[in-house]
């Protein structure tokens, strides 16, 4: 069987790095996309190789659609047809602002990276997958599949009045998953959404004190599982899909949030 090939956007740090390394453990050839931090991407590639996979790094700004062709071309040129796309790259607003005063530039910045870019990159990679040949149905666990995985957020359904553009981008990604899942099922390509909760990354660093209190110190806490999420928690969910363990599922949402999504009394 051909060695599976994945593209992980925003793969240099945090959740993206953990996903890349976990795919390496599964024997994937991993294309680590990064925007600005080449040194971090190189570190991630070394970790993938240490885990048993292979990796290259490719600079591309997901928000710039002109970069998409170069990213895909680099992947195919080095490793062959792409079998897995993980849309992980994402940004938070540079400044948290009340939704009543949020500047247009912040809306464009967040939406271009978190929704428009992933949507159009998925379109390009999906067409590539279709042209390369539809995947076999009924793939047994432990074998690679053709799939697209969108890393969204609990913000897809949690309203943030001081970063409304972020919530909107993740809600849009949830529907993007459904749209592509419905279209690509006939091509044998599964599309899934993984919805992380509060994960310890650079993005959540500035609000660590707030979430330490909400998760660990409050009497009940906002999550039944009383700890911060780890990037590796998300990576394990990606691995389960990448191993082909859900051959009769598509458009599915996997919550990796410590139980935050549950309504409890």
**Tens digits of residue pLDDT in 36-77:** 999 999 999 999 999 999 999 999 999 999 999 999 999 999
Q: Which of 129-133, 156-160, 208-212 is predicted with the least confidence, judged by mean pLDDT?
A: 208-212
Strand order in the sheet with 190-196: 54-59, 29-34, 5-8, 84-87, 147-151, 190-196, 253-256
pLDDT score of 136 more than 80: no
Q: What is the DSSP-derived secondary structure letter of residue 264?
A: -
Confidence category of residue 140, pLDDT binned at 50, 70, 90? very low
Alpha-carbon gap, residue 201 to 8, rounded angstroms? 17
pLDDT score of 210 more than 50: yes
pLDDT score of 200 more than 90: no
3-state secondary structure 182-199: HHHHHHCCEEEEEEECCE
CA distances from 84 to 11, 30, 81, 103, 208 (A): 14, 9, 9, 35, 32
Alpha-carbon gap, residue 194 to 234, rounded angstroms? 8
Reply yes or no on whether 107 is catalytic. no
Check residues 206 and 118 and name the one with the higher pLDDT: 118
pLDDT confidence of residue 1: 57
Do the Cβ atoms of 53 and 29 come closer than 8 Å?
A: yes
Catalytic residue (choose from 28, 34, 107, 166): 166
Look at the domain 5-253 and name its fold.
Rossmann fold (3.40.50)
Q: What is the DSSP-derived secondary structure letter of residue 213?
A: I
Q: Are strands 5-8 and 29-34 parallel, antiparallel or unpaired?
A: parallel
Mean pLDDT of all residues in the chain?
93
DSSP 132-163: H-PPPSSPPTTS---EEEEE--GGGTS--TTS
Predicted confidence (pLDDT) per residue in 104-135, tens digit = 999 999 999 999 999 999 999 999 999 998 44
* Mean per-residue pLDDT, 236-240: 98
Q: Measuring CA to CA, which residue among 97, 83, 95, 70 is closest to residue 135?
A: 83
* Mean per-residue pLDDT, 21-28: 98
Look up the pTM and report it. 0.93
Confidence category of residue 144, pLDDT binned at 50, 70, 90? low
Do the Cβ atoms of 177 and 192 come closer than 8 Å?
A: yes
Q: Where are the domains of the chain?
A: 5-253
């Amino acid at each position: 069987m051909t060695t599976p090939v994945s593209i992980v956007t925003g793969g240099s740090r945090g959740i993206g790095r953990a996903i890349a390394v976990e795919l390496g453990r599964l024997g994937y050839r991993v294309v680590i996309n990064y925007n600005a931090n080449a040194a971090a991407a190189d570190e991630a590639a070394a970790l993938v190789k240490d885990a048993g996979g292979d990796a290259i790094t490719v600079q591309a700004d997901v928000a710039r659609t002109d970069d998409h062709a170069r990213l895909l071309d680099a992947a195919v040129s080095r490793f062959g047809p792409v079998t897995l796309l993980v849309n992980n790259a994402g940004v938070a607003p540079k400044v948290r602002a009340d939704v009543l005063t949020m500047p247009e530039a912040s809306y464009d910045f967040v939406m271009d990276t978190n929704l428009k870019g992933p949507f159009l990159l998925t379109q390009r990679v999906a067409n590539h997958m279709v042209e390369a040949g539809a995947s076999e149905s009924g793939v047994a666990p432990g074998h690679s599949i053709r799939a697209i995985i969108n890393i969204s957020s609990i913000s897809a359904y949690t309203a943030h009045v001081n970063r409304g553009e972020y919530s909107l981008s993740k809600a849009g990604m949830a529907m993007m998953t459904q749209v592509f899942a419905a279209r690509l099922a006939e091509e044998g390509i599964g599309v899934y959404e993984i919805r992380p909760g509060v994960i310890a990354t650079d993005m959540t660093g500035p609000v660590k004190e707030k979430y330490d209190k909400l998760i660990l110190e409050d009497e009940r806490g906002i999550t039944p599982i009383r700890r911060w999420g780890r990037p590796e928690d998300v990576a394990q969910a990606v691995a389960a899909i990448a191993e082909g363990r859900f051959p009769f599922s598509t458009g599915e949402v996997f919550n990796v949030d410590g139980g935050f999504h549950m309504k409890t009394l």
